[in-house]
Structure 1
Amino acid sequence: MSKKSGIVDLSRRAILRGAAAAGAAAIAGQAVAQTAVDELISAPRRGNWDDQFDAQASRATASVVSNTPMLSGSNLFNFQDAIQNYQAIVSNGGWPQVTPAVKLKIGVVDPSVQQLRQRLMISGDLDRGAGMSNSFDTYVDGAVKRFQARHGLPEDGVLGEFSLKALNVSADTRLMQLNVNLQRLQEMMSKQLENRYIVVNIPAAYVEAVEGDRVALRNTAIVGRDTRPSPLVDSKVSDIILNPYWTAPRSIVEKDIVPLMRKDPTYLSRNNIRLIDGKGNEVSPESIDWFAPKAPNLMFRQDPGKINAMSSTKINFPSPEAVYMHDTPTQGLFNKLMRFESSGCVRVQNVRDLIVWVLKNTPGWNRQEIERVIASRVNTPIKVTDEVGVHWVYLTAWSAKDGVVQFRDDIYGKDGNAQLALQTNIGVEQVSGSVEDDILPQ
Structure 2
Amino acid sequence: MTKDLNKTVRTVSRRGFIAAAAGAVALPKLAAAQSAVDALINTPGRGKWDEQFDAVTSRAQAAVSSNQPILSPNAPMNIMQAMAEYQRINANGGWPEVHPNVPLQFGVYDPSVRQLRQRLIVSGDLPQEAGISDSYDSYVQGAVRRFQARHGLAETGYIDEYTLKALNVSAAVRLAQLETNLTRVEDLGSDLGQRYVLVNIPAAYCEAVEDNAVALRNVAIVGRPSRPTPLLNSKIFEIIFNPPWTVPRSIIQKDIMPLMREDPNYLVDNKIRLYDNKGQEVDPLTVDWNAEKAPNLTFRQDPGPNSAMASTKINFHNKHAVYMHDTPSQSLFNDILRFESSGCVRIENVRDLDVWLLKNTPGWNRQKIEETIHAGISTPVNLADPVPNHFVYITAWSTKDGIVQFRDDIYNLDGAPELALQTTTGIE
Pairwise TM-score range, normalised by the shorter structure: 0.7 to 0.9
Q: Which moved more, 1:263-272 or 1:52-61?
A: 52-61
- 1:84 match: 84
Q: In structure 2, give the amino acid aligned to 1:81.
A: Q
SS where residue 86 of structure 2 aligns?
Answer: helix
Q: In structure 1, give the amino acid aligned to 2:256.
A: I
Separation in structure 2 between the aligned mates of residue 376 and residue 58 of structure 1, nearest angstrom = 51
Q: In structure 1, give the amino acid aligned to 2:192.
A: L
**Are 1:97 and 2:97 matched, yes or no?**
yes
Separation in structure 2 between the aligned mates of residue 58 and residue 217 of structure 1, nearest angstrom = 30
**Are 1:61 and 2:58 matched, yes or no?**
no
- 1:127 match: 127
Separation in structure 2 between the aligned mates of residue 170 and residue 347 of structure 1, nearest angstrom = 33
Separation in structure 2 between the aligned mates of residue 141 and residue 289 of structure 1, nearest angstrom = 58
The CA deviation string for residues 113-156 of structure 1, in whole angstroms up to 9 with x for no partner, is: 22211111111111112222222221121111111100011112
The CA deviation string for residues 318-366 of structure 1, in whole angstroms up to 9 with x for no partner, is: 1110110000011111111111000000001111111111011111111
Contact 1:201–1:392, Cα closer than 8 Å, also in 2: yes
SS where residue 238 of structure 1 aligns?
Answer: strand
- 2:380 match: 381
Contact 1:78–1:403, Cα closer than 8 Å, also in 2: yes
Separation in structure 2 between the aligned mates of residue 127 and residue 263 of structure 1, nearest angstrom = 57
1:402 shift after superposition = 2.0
- 2:143 match: 143
1:63 shift after superposition = 0.7
Separation in structure 2 between the aligned mates of residue 58 and residue 248 of structure 1, nearest angstrom = 52
1:171 shift after superposition = 0.4
- 2:244 match: 245
- 2:342 match: 343
Separation in structure 2 between the aligned mates of residue 292 and residue 96 of structure 1, nearest angstrom = 56
The CA deviation string for residues 198-227 of structure 1, in whole angstroms up to 9 with x for no partner, is: 111100101111000000011111000000
Contact 2:165–2:421, Cα closer than 8 Å, also in 1: no
Q: Which moved more, 1:109-118 or 1:245-254?
A: 109-118
Contact 2:234–2:389, Cα closer than 8 Å, also in 1: yes
**Are 1:226 and 2:225 matched, yes or no?**
yes
- 1:390 match: 389
SS where residue 388 of structure 1 aligns?
Answer: strand
Greater relative contact order, per chain length (Cα 8 Å cut-off, separation 6+):
1
Contact 1:203–1:409, Cα closer than 8 Å, also in 2: yes
1:286 shift after superposition = 2.3
Alignment of 1:18-57 (within 5 A): 48-51=47-50, 52-57=52-57
Separation in structure 2 between the aligned mates of residue 310 and residue 213 of structure 1, nearest angstrom = 30
CA separation of 1:422 and 1:116: change in aligned 2, threshold 3 A: closer
Which structure has more helix as a fraction of its residues? Answer: 2
Q: In structure 2, give the amino acid aligned to 1:253.
A: I
Identity of counterpart residues, as a percentage? 61
Query: Which consecutive residues of structure 1, in runs of 5 or more, have no partner in the other structure?
Result: 1-46, 430-437
1:265 shift after superposition = 2.2
- 2:322 match: 323
1:48 shift after superposition = 4.9
Separation in structure 2 between the aligned mates of residue 249 and residue 392 of structure 1, nearest angstrom = 20
Q: In structure 1, give the amino acid aligned to 2:306.
A: I
Q: In structure 1, give the amino acid aligned to 2:93.
A: G
Q: In structure 2, give the amino acid aligned to 1:211.
A: E
Contact 1:413–1:422, Cα closer than 8 Å, also in 2: no
Contact 1:54–1:138, Cα closer than 8 Å, also in 2: no
1:187 shift after superposition = 0.6
Contact 2:162–2:421, Cα closer than 8 Å, also in 1: no
Q: In structure 2, give the amino acid aligned to 1:124.
A: G
Separation in structure 2 between the aligned mates of residue 79 and residue 188 of structure 1, nearest angstrom = 14
Alignment of 1:109-124 (within 5 A): 109-124=109-124
Contact 2:242–2:304, Cα closer than 8 Å, also in 1: yes
SS where residue 220 of structure 2 aligns?
Answer: strand
User: Scaled by the length of structure 2, what TM-score is found?
Assistant: 0.86
The CA deviation string for residues 149-182 of structure 1, in whole angstroms up to 9 with x for no partner, is: 0001111210122111101110000000000000
Alignment of 1:278-357 (within 5 A): 278-357=277-356
1:314 shift after superposition = 0.4
Contact 2:330–2:348, Cα closer than 8 Å, also in 1: yes
Separation in structure 1 between the aligned mates of residue 156 and residue 263 of structure 2, nearest angstrom = 43
The CA deviation string for residues 362-410 of structure 1, in whole angstroms up to 9 with x for no partner, is: 1111111101110111000000111311111001100124221000110
Separation in structure 1 between the aligned mates of residue 379 and residue 162 of structure 2, nearest angstrom = 43
Contact 2:49–2:137, Cα closer than 8 Å, also in 1: no
Q: In structure 2, give the amino acid aligned to 1:192.
A: D
Separation in structure 2 between the aligned mates of residue 134 and residue 262 of structure 1, nearest angstrom = 57
Contact 1:222–1:347, Cα closer than 8 Å, also in 2: yes
The CA deviation string for residues 264-312 of structure 1, in whole angstroms up to 9 with x for no partner, is: 2222111111111112221222222323343211100000012211010
What's the Cα RMSD here? 1.5
Q: In structure 2, give the amino acid aligned to 1:358.
A: L
1:422 shift after superposition = 4.4
Separation in structure 1 between the aligned mates of residue 409 and residue 291 of structure 2, nearest angstrom = 40
Separation in structure 1 between the aligned mates of residue 247 and residue 138 of structure 2, nearest angstrom = 51
Alignment of 1:402-421 (within 5 A): 402-421=401-420
Query: Which consecutive residues of structure 2, in runs of 5 or more, have no partner in the other structure?
Result: 1-45
Contact 2:59–2:141, Cα closer than 8 Å, also in 1: no
Larger radius of gyration: 2
- 1:173 match: 173
